Amino acid sequence: MTETPKTQSPSEVILASRRKFLQRAGLGGAALAASPLATPYVNAQSAPIKWRLQTYSGAPLGAHVIKPQIDAFNAAANGEMEIELYYADQLVPTSELFRAMQNGTIDAVQSDDATMASPVDISVFGGYFPFNTRFSLDLPAMFAYYGLNEIWEEAYGEVNNVTWLSSGAWDPLHIFTIDPIRSLADMNGKRVFGVPTAGRFLSRYGLIPVTVPWDDVEVALQTGELDGVAWCGFTEAYEVGWADICNYALTNSVTGAWCGSYFANTESWAKVPPHLQQLFRSTIDQSHYYRNVWYWGGEAKLRVEGEKMELTQLPDDEWQQVISDSTSFWDEIAAESPRSAKVVDAFKRYAATMEKAGYPYR
């Protein structure tokens, strides 16, 4: 008897095709395992360097945003170094990531500055800062051409035993909820799992940011402890199952791309020889590239073809009010420190340049 093949839903087809991109991009450890670089090797002079790295991400999303990079590094490190990867809250709570890295409990971290409570004045710009980006390429462009690399190096250079390595872009920020948001009034009182800075901004409309462990979000949505999430884009909502619980997706995106970084314990980083430091930086860059493509194409397909959530939109006049409110929010943040003012100035100069450049930039 022949079984009838199960028909995949539109979102399952999209997610499956995007997972195949992982292999085509050549980022997975499996791709490197076939190469001579992956031949087991132990340095005769000393034992392999061992690192523990924890990411902000849970395992389902981590399969894309961090695991391919770590697999690639471990394969290419030729037995000289091995990084053990841990997902959200596995070793320490996400809010304690910075301190755990600083004191050497873990050797490295992938997170945004705000979520892991970095004690620097620019931490507010990590994660989702309202309207500083429209597209994912905006973020690396500002780091490369508008001084953000130097500002981040300066800020973390003042912190003992922590080294900032690199920042990259992730997905845009959307709000996914059990009940619909069709006006700003609908935000009032909704409890959402969200990143700190975006939550601080959106709270002026009555949204209530709630912090729970990442792995507890799904249950909190099911039990009513949470009314939604303001944490991610369509990719994560579908990939980790939140789209199976949330019924509505607000298409108004407060930010075009999340800002996340790689950090290392300075003492641990200093023990890594230069060629392995370069390898780690190179695989980080490869990961940045992979995420930019994976999110850019996948976000659009899931928004258009994904069947699990009804799309909603704020009225034009209310959305313009939100955009206008972000201007005062920028000024409020700029007043917090001279270095924060430099970052906001970079955002303003970049936005002005993009508007003048026009298509395809804006």
The amino acid present at 252, given as its one-letter code, is N
pLDDT (average), residues 102-111: 98
Q: Among residues 287, 279, 230, 296, which one has the least CA distance to residue 261?
A: 287
pLDDT tens profile 139-153 = 999 999 999 999 999
Q: Is the CB of residue 65 less than 8 Å from the CB of residue 55? A: yes
Residue 209 corresponds to which tokens in the numbers above? 């940011």
Which pLDDT band, with edges at 50, 70 and 90, does 33 fall under? very low
Q: Which of the 8 DSSP states describes residue 142?
A: H
Q: Are 105 and 327 in contact (CB under 8 A)?
A: no
At 5, the pLDDT band (50, 70, 90 cuts) reads low
User: What's the rounded Cα separation, in Å, for the pair 129 and 201?
Assistant: 9
d(CA 252, CA 285): 29
Bridge-based pairing of strands 173-177 and 228-232 is antiparallel
Residue appearing with tokens 């090797």: 41
Chain region(s) in the chain for CATH 3.40.190.170: 10-170+258-301, 173-256+307-357
End-to-end alpha carbon distance in the chain = 57
Torsion angle in degrees (nearest 10) through CA of 352, 357, 359, 362: -10
Is the pLDDT at 81 greater than 60, yes or no?
yes
Q: Return the beta strands (E) in 36-80 as ranges.
A: 49-55
pLDDT in tens, 114-132: 999 999 999 999 999 999 9
* Count of C-beta atoms within a 10 Å radius of residue 9: 13
- Quickly state the pLDDT bin for 39 (edges 50, 70, 90): very low
Q: What is the pLDDT of residue 7?
A: 76
Does 27 have pLDDT greater than 60? no
Q: Which fold has domain 10-170+258-301?
A: D-Maltodextrin-Binding Protein; domain 2 (3.40.190)
Protein fold of 173-256+307-357: D-Maltodextrin-Binding Protein; domain 2 (3.40.190)
* pLDDT confidence of residue 328: 96
Q: With contact defined as beta carbons under 8 Å apart, do 83 and 47 qualify?
A: no
Contacts with 27 (C-beta within 8 Å, 6 or more apart), sequence order? 68, 69, 71, 72, 286, 287, 290
DSSP per residue, 304-326: HH--SSEEE---HHHHHHHHHHH
Q: Provide the mean pLDDT of the chain.
A: 91
Half-sphere exposure of residue 332: CA atoms within 13 angstroms, side-chain side: 11
